[in-house]
């Protein structure tokens, strides 16, 4: 089927351009007008040009993923359009012209086609789980069933933006220590493999008995210089082995349990998981999703197998008639504060409100813990680097002092 490149105006008078396939130029114009686009230019692409453009587009799609920020912006724009009274299909058409991410634009186009064929928006989105999570599609489904799709989409946008904000806060706070760790390690590796052997060659030529620190430094330097490939191979093999083990059920549970009990990061990991649990459950319940369905979705969101199993255990007990806070307390995973807030929310009929309060409280604790962790990491890194550099300086200066005393 021929492919045509077009330029034209959409229903709002905005300039638009793109490509469309049709049997003839007339069919292409009719197809564009049916989609609310009024073409001013229409040109058939040759086979070679079409292949080149399609290959370039496919290459961009492979390397361009859909970020949470893109999904949040798209969700808020869709909520705004629907709130303004724009029907769903024209709203999706407007989104296609506004989205910059090629992968997301392609997904929205395919969702629009499914909706045109009679599918609901939530069912159309379920075909793209890498872009729209179970939480997203279930909330959209609840919004469609209740007639409050705009409100649900706004809640989804707020939820995603909050998750993005928290993740960016963690990344930006830990970026500097991680950067300094790599830079410091690179400098030390350069010193040990290139600088130290040149400086200490004079000590080896002097045929003197060298101090123990100098011998240790020379041994480490010689090993890194001659067997660096072995070190790289062992490191790569260890990383690949750990990744393969983590992908197993036992490995994932071991790693998730380890994350919760690490000396410095364990508390932070627990707070992030609890904040995600509380906010996700509150958002789902507030959107009209049944409790059991909401707990099933939350299990996939907390990103920790230990806590997910605890939620699953609580889910089974709740199905048997227990209140929410009782099985959660029996799991020995959630802090007493969370259990107490959930209990108060159940008794007062304001469970969603209490869960939002729990999420806000733990979000604040996460930010405080990150700041404290960063303030601890920096002096620890400086101390470790100082000890290593001090050892190198001592190992070099000790034989120099001995040689000087021998001369005097």
pLDDT digits 0-9 by tens, 317-330: 888 877 888 888 87
* The pLDDT value given to residue 206: 66
* The pLDDT value given to residue 57: 47
Q: 188-235 pLDDT, tens per residue?
A: 888 777 777 777 777 666 666 778 888 888 888 888 878 878 888 998
CATH 3.40.50 fits 3-63, yes or no: no
Indicate whether 64 pLDDT > 60: no
Quick one: fold of 68-160? Receptor-associated Protein (1.20.81)
CATH 1.20.81.30: which residues of the chain? 68-160, 162-408
| Packed helices 134-146 and 266-286: angle between N→C axes, nearest 10 degrees | 20
CATH 3.10.20: which residues of the chain? 3-63
* The pLDDT value given to residue 204: 65
The pLDDT of 360-370, averaged and rounded, is 84
* The pLDDT value given to residue 218: 82
> Mean pLDDT over all residues of the chain?
80
The pLDDT of 15-33, averaged and rounded, is 74
Are residues 6 and 41 in contact, defined by beta-carbon separation less than 8 angstroms?
A: yes
- Band (pLDDT 50/70/90 cuts) for residue 237 is very high
Measured distance CA(90)–CA(100) in Å, rounded: 18
Least confident interval from 42-51, 122-131, 298-307: 42-51
Percentage with pLDDT > 70 across the chain: 90
Indicate whether 23 pLDDT > 80: no
* The pLDDT value given to residue 21: 64
* The pLDDT value given to residue 58: 46
- Most confident residue range from 115-119, 149-153, 236-240, 364-368: 236-240
Q: What is the CATH code of the structural domain delimited by 162-408? A: 1.20.81.30
């Amino acid at each position: 089927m021929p492919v045509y490149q077009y330029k034209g105006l959409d229903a709002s008078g905005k300039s638009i351009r793109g490509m469309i396939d049709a049997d003839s130029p007339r069919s292409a114009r009719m197809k564009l007008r049916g989609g609310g686009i009024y073409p001013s230019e229409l040109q058939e692409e040759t086979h070679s040009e079409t292949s080149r453009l399609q290959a370039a587009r496919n290459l961009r799609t492979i390397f361009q993923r859909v970020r949470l920020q893109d999904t949040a912006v798209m969700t808020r724009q869709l909520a705004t359009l629907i709130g303004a009274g724009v029907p769903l299909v024209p709203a999706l058409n407007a989104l296609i012209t506004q989205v910059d991410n090629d992968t997301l634009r392609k997904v929205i186009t395919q969702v629009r086609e499914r909706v045109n064929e009679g599918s609901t928006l939530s069912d159309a989105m379920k075909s793209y789980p890498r872009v729209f999570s179970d939480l997203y599609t279930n909330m959209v489904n609840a919004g469609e069933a209740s007639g409050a799709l705009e409100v649900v989409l706004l809640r989804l946008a707020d939820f995603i933006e909050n998750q993005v904000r928290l993740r960016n806060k963690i990344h930006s706070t830990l970026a500097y220590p991680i950067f300094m760790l790599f830079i410091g390690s690179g400098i030390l590796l350069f010193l040990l493999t290139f600088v130290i052997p040149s400086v200490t060659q004079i000590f080896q030529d002097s045929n003197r008995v060298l101090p123990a620190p100098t011998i240790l430094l020379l041994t480490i330097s010689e090993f890194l210089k001659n067997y660096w490939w072995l070190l790289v191979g062992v490191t790569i093999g260890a990383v690949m082995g750990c990744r393969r083990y983590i992908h197993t059920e036992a490995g994932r549970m071991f790693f998730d349990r380890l994350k919760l009990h690490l000396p410095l990061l364990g508390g932070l990991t627990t707070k992030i998981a609890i904040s995600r649990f509380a906010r996700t459950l509150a958002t789902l319940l507030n959107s009209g999703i049944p409790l059991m369905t909401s707990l099933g979705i939350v299990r996939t969101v907390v990103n920790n197998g230990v806590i997910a199993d605890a939620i699953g255990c609580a889910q089974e007990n709740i199905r048997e008639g227990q209140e929410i806070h009782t099985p959660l307390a029996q799991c020995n995973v959630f802090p007493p504060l969370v259990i107490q807030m959930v209990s108060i929310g159940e008794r007062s009929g304001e469970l969603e409100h209490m869960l939002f309060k729990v999420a806000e409280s733990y979000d604040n604790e996460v930010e405080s813990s990150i700041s404290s962790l960063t303030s601890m990491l920096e002096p620890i890194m400086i101390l470790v680097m100082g000890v290593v550099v001090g050892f190198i300086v001592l190992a070099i200066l000790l034989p120099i002092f001995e040689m000087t005393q021998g001369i005097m």
